[in-house]
Structure 1
């Protein structure tokens, strides 16, 4: 069923037609001992260089870690590296997958910014030590790809949503589609404040998504509305200032989200989700929140 889909009129299936995939049971996090804002590679980092409270950042990270533990997700930890202040955002360096036989795989990223390229080998090493088969994209053909920052699995299904336009090349999804033999639905991003798909698109369960609509083209919105029964929309304030769509819902029920997303949180509760608010203000300074700070694994 592997196919690359760019428009709604190409859809010849519904979600129930897609083979099921086990939900992740583990989460990988990178301890932020060296986290700071040392440079500007996205609009959120502007005017934030040198302004991170490192003690508060570590406290916030611990709260996120504890919430994953409380909802029953096993937390695995990698130590970060001096000189790699963004390594804590470990959604970006890879794309993991579990095949139908239960074998675990990971495609390693080609980071867009030079400042982040050295993060990838440390994540690769962890995968190798933990029994994953590691795959690489052809850097002669593909300019960039930033893992689960842009490539997001549909909850419980062998279907991938792929964002492109700022940090990941559309061509990367052709290779991923072929390697994993799954359908990939690509969504063009059009607002540089939403430079990764995970900043404006959150799959909550098989039938529900949380999005910021102005980050997408009309065709992208058509694709989203065609495959989700319910689409919750975040306001501009909560999406831009509080990264509401950078929430994480690992089990299809519990949503971990930046505190203060009043409107989105009401909509989530009305839709039957359990909402767990957490402060990630120090990480917002670098353009990331809950989803960016972890990698869900099998």
Structure 2
């Protein structure tokens, strides 16, 4: 072993795997029939069967990693319900429901809240417009909260009051990254005592104030390329060691390996046509 390789191994921290419990929704009715983000083009064809096949690969990957995977039934006429992350934010057995910006998705909020109630969660009906875990990311004991395109800043105060956590508001400025989970990946969802939680992010997705906050709070963050972000590479899901990412995010894959993580690529290119990726299909359930 060379001296450089030995030093690199010594400097790469051991990663802590944590048990994950998630909620998903099969894309049985997926299509792109309207446009509410720059990724969506209703004039172009979509392949629902391919979307289901690709989603099944993500589902199987989670099962192979030992995740507890729960399923909510899809509803005909709600093609975006597959993007389960937007259905709410769950922490401490409290499920804060979603209140969607666009009319096309508004029925999803009650549908997900019904599932939460039926499965024993303390449901809090939102007063403010928010799109669930798409714009609320738990990093250690801090909630990074996105705003600018979908989620109203007033919901950040609502979340802080409900969960009693510090909430850091981040303004998104690029419409292609309209939810904060398309511009930030949480790499350490449950860091070991004494360890700091880390993230990866795309600097150009945020305004100057938000970027300053990220640089100050996460000096060791992975900075991804525009190319990897453009395939929603940051829209990924980690158990602290295994990081499920878009298979086309090749440089992000390299960066993760260099930082001691195990990237696992999954092709969700059909669901990308609706503006979603790995994390969009994944709502974390925290009892």
User: Given the alignment of the two structures, is residue 244 of structure 1 paired with residue 233 of structure 2, yes or no?
Assistant: yes
TM-score after normalising by structure 1:
0.85
Aligned mates of 1:23, 1:296 — CA distance in 2: 12
Q: Within 5 A, what are the aligned runs for 1:148-227?
A: 148-154=133-139, 157-205=140-188, 206-227=196-217
Give the match for residue 106 of structure 1.
Answer: 95
User: Given the alignment of the two structures, is residue 259 of structure 1 paired with residue 247 of structure 2, yes or no?
Assistant: yes
CA contact (8 A) 1:211 1:232 kept: yes
Which among 264, 278, 282 is matched to residue 270 of structure 2?
Answer: 282
Which among 58, 78, 88 is matched to residue 72 of structure 2?
Answer: 78
1:24 deviates by 5.9
Which among 132, 149, 161 is matched to residue 147 of structure 1?
Answer: 132
Q: Deviations over 1:71-108 (max 9, x none)?
A: 1111111120110000000100211111xxxxx11111
Aligned mates of 2:123, 2:141 — CA distance in 1: 19
Alignment gaps of 5+ in structure 2: 1-16, 189-195
1:62 deviates by 0.4
Aligned mates of 1:24, 1:160 — CA distance in 2: 20
Q: Deviations over 1:143-202 (max 9, x none)?
A: x21010000111xx3210000010001111111101111100110001111100011111
Aligned mates of 1:29, 1:93 — CA distance in 2: 10
CA contact (8 A) 2:87 2:283 kept: no
Aligned mates of 1:262, 1:294 — CA distance in 2: 21
**SS at 2:82's partner residue?**
coil
1:263 deviates by 0.9
CA contact (8 A) 1:38 1:50 kept: no
CA contact (8 A) 1:24 1:297 kept: no
* Alignment CA distance shift 1:274-1:23 (3 Å): closer
1:23 deviates by 5.6
**SS at 2:156's partner residue?**
helix
1:208 deviates by 2.0
Q: How many residues in Structure 1 have an aligned counterpart in Structure 2?
A: 263
User: Given the alignment of the two structures, is residue 269 of structure 1 paired with residue 269 of structure 2, yes or no?
Assistant: no
Give the match for residue 81 of structure 2.
Answer: 87
RMSD, aligned α-carbons: 1.4
Aligned mates of 1:262, 1:186 — CA distance in 2: 30
